Structure 1
Amino acid sequence: MDTNLLVICGLTFVIHLIGTLAYAARIAGIRTGHIATALTLFNVLVLISRTSNSFQAPFLAKRIEVSLAESMAPLFADFQWILGAAALATAVGAILVPTAQRALSRAVALLQVHRSMFRLVCHGMHPRRLLLMRRYLTLPSRGNLRAMQTRGGLSWNFIVLNVVAVALWTVGVFAALYAGALEPQFRVTCSNLSAIINGLATIIMFLVLDPQLSLMTDDAARQRVGQGQFRAAVTSLVGARLAGVLLAQLLLVPAAMLIAQVARWI
């Protein structure tokens, strides 16, 4: 693995790690009773994720251009490495969800005191407090893992839809770029056709999945649903996310071929 690919994998790792830790913000919001504040704090991490994404795209595009000029042979392997980094980040994120939840819960309490994001960041960046971060480290409890059997009341259809949506969302942009490598004469067209894949994922996520998860979060905040059941649901969704990222590896070539075919048709 060369330096360029290592940088792309590193940026991909950051993007998917933060995406997985989004579930910790919901748990922290329920635990503290300040859902909006917890999600606001998480937006700081989202900013890091979006910055990583803005750097990842040109690095990956340049790599494809170089591959087209030289040899396309290693390009598929490159995408497998990148998707592998996404899967590893999701697995690491799943392990760190309890740690992130505890850290975010503490940050919510501190923000209530400091009343300023800038002051909170300065408070947290103090070297002594950075050393104290280790006290938040914890592994997922066996109880939460056993609770996955109940899925927190979520249906299998809901879980499977999560797997499919995450797989499509993960592979969409990569498939469009790979399609451009398969059809170099239409690579600009292909790079703009990621919505063929991502569009379906967006519909599933924002019209079917997110409303249900938001309703469950509100029910947990109002104690209509127990925190144990909510944690079990979140644990199941994290597992579904990991399954979806792994499925994305299998969808890369079919999705790329579909986009390339559409690029030839239009």
Structure 2
Amino acid sequence: MSFSLFNIFALVSRTANTLQAPLIASIIGFSIAHDLNPLIDMRLVIFAATSGTLLGVLFIPSFLRIFEKAVNRLEVTGSVPSLVVEALQINNIKRIVKSVSKPCKTMIERLRYREIPKRLLILNSLVTGIYTVGVLAASYSAILVAEEHRLAVVASSGMINGIASILLTLLIDPKSAMITDQALRGKRPYNDVKALVVLLITSKLVGTLLGQVLFLPAAQVIAYIYN
């Protein structure tokens, strides 16, 4: 049940990035029409991604608590849509709000961070950086190429995000699942899973910051390919 619910969250988070494409395209179109450089706007979008990820870090304890309750309810309802409808009821919304808690410093200090592979975190940061700038770099590169290539470079964002999805599926998800499975079988303490969650989302935060560095070079590389 928890795996099914997690897959839904993962699917939503990994496809949400594409929802911004029309909005970014409108900014690029306006900039081209008025001979403007939207570089600052693009960097602000990346900064917003960093801010959102930081907010996610702060809500980790609350999310874990709510996720555990959601899994238990999913076993009763047997349906994700039913679970969503139930969660939107006023009384349940109040319970969810009451479940929100601040990160505990002592809990964070007790986590076994050294047991989490550093390579996993580095890869997660790199893939997150690619995800963060995929749509933005492809869209921004439209102002760097000739008019006849603009549609092609914008469409390349799907390919970039597709590569990032493959990297996540092949390199990040299996290792994360293995650590979780080992904890379930008693081969690892449960605190390792908590440390994994904290470090993965922290490495995502680093990845969004890395996106600021990758953004312009990525756009220039895309433009170079099509010029």
TM over 0.5: yes
Q: What's the % identity of the aligned pairs?
A: 27
Q: Is 2:54 the counterpart of 1:91?
A: yes
What CA distance in whole angstroms lies between the structure 2 residues aligned with 1:158 and 1:47? Answer: 22
Could you state the TM-score of these two structures normalised by the residue count of structure 1? Answer: 0.76
What CA distance in whole angstroms lies between the structure 2 residues aligned with 1:196 and 1:261? Answer: 16
Q: Is the 8 A contact 1:96 1:139 kept in 2?
A: yes
1:208 matched residue in structure 2: 171
Could you state the TM-score of these two structures normalised by the residue count of structure 2? Answer: 0.87
SS of 1:193 mapped into structure 2: helix
Q: Is the 8 A contact 1:152 1:230 kept in 2?
A: no
1:9 matched residue in structure 2: none
Q: Deviations over 1:139-183 (max 9, x none)?
A: 2222343256x4251232222222111111211221111111221
The 1:126–1:49 alpha-carbon spacing in structure 2 relative to 1, beyond 3 Å, is farther
Amino acid at match of 2:69: R
The 1:123–1:247 alpha-carbon spacing in structure 2 relative to 1, beyond 3 Å, is same
* CA-CA distance at 1:111 after TM superposition: 2.2
Counting only pairs closer than 5 Å after superposition, residues 42-121 of structure 1 correspond to structure 2 as: 43=8, 46-47=11-12, 50=15, 53=17, 55-73=19-37, 75-121=38-84
Counting only pairs closer than 5 Å after superposition, residues 8-19 of structure 1 correspond to structure 2 as: none
Q: Is 2:157 the counterpart of 1:190?
A: no
Q: Deviations over 1:90-136 (max 9, x none)?
A: 00011112111111211222222233334333322222222222221
Amino acid at match of 1:90: T
1:172 to 134, 137, 145: 134
Q: Which moved more, 1:254-263 or 1:189-198?
A: 189-198
Instruction: Note the residue ranges of structure 2 that are not aligned, 5 or more in a row.
Output: none
The 1:206–1:117 alpha-carbon spacing in structure 2 relative to 1, beyond 3 Å, is closer
Output the aligned Cα RMSD. 2.4
1:238 matched residue in structure 2: 201
Q: Is the 8 A contact 2:120 2:175 kept in 1?
A: no
What CA distance in whole angstroms lies between the structure 1 residues aligned with 2:120 and 2:14? Answer: 26
What CA distance in whole angstroms lies between the structure 1 residues aligned with 2:208 and 2:108? Answer: 20
The 1:131–1:49 alpha-carbon spacing in structure 2 relative to 1, beyond 3 Å, is farther
Instruction: Note the residue ranges of structure 1 that are not aligned, 5 or more in a row.
Output: 1-33
1:221 to 180, 184, 190: 184
- Number of equivalent positions: 226
What CA distance in whole angstroms lies between the structure 1 residues aligned with 2:32 and 2:131? Answer: 25
What CA distance in whole angstroms lies between the structure 1 residues aligned with 2:222 and 2:18? Answer: 23
What CA distance in whole angstroms lies between the structure 2 residues aligned with 1:69 and 1:151? Answer: 50
Amino acid at match of 1:180: A
* CA-CA distance at 1:252 after TM superposition: 0.6
